[in-house]
Amino acid sequence: MPVKNRFAELHDEIAAWRRDFHQHPEILFETHRTAGIVAEKLRAFGCDEVTEGIGRTGVVGVIRGKETGSGRTIGLRADMDALPIHETTGADWASKTDGAMHACGHDGHTAMLLGAARYLCETRNFDGTVVVIFQPAEEGGGGGREMCADGLMERWGIEEVYGMHNWPGVPVGQFQIRPGPFFAATDLFEIEIEGRGGHAAKPHETIDTTVAAAQVVTALQTIASRNADPVGQVVVSVTSFQTSSNAFNVIPQKVHLKGTVRTLSPEMRDLAEARMTTICTSVAEAFGATARVDYLRNYPVMVNAEAQTDFAAEVASAVAGGCDTADLVMGGEDFAYMLEERPGAYILVGNGDTASVHSPDYDFNDEAIPAGCSWWAEIVERRLPAA
For residues 237 and 225, give the distance between their C-alpha atoms in angstroms, rounded to a whole number.
13
Binding site annotation covers 154? Answer: no
For residues 272 and 189, give the distance between their C-alpha atoms in angstroms, rounded to a whole number.
11
Region of 197 (left: φ > 0; alpha: ψ -120 to 50; beta: rest) is beta
Separation in Å, CA 267 to CA 183, 213, 263, 338: 16, 27, 9, 21
Binding site annotation covers 11? Answer: no
8 A C-beta contact, residue 170 and residue 370: no
Binding site annotation covers 204? Answer: no
Task: Give the CA count within 13 Å in the CB-facing half-sphere of 153.
Answer: 18
Radius of gyration of the chain (CA): 24
Binding site annotation covers 106? Answer: yes
If you write DSSP's letter for every residue of 235-269 in order, what string do you get? EEEEEEEEES---TTEE-SEEEEEEEEEESSHHHH
The angle subtended at Cα 269 by Cα 281 and Cα 225, nearest 5°, is 70
For residues 28 and 36, give the distance between their C-alpha atoms in angstroms, rounded to a whole number.
15
8 A C-beta contact, residue 10 and residue 114: no
In Å, how far from its chain's centre is CA 63?
Answer: 25
Amino acid at 306: E
Binding site annotation covers 139? Answer: yes
- Binding-site residues for Mn(2+): 104, 106, 139, 165, 358
Which residues are annotated binding-site positions? Answer: 104, 106, 139, 165, 358
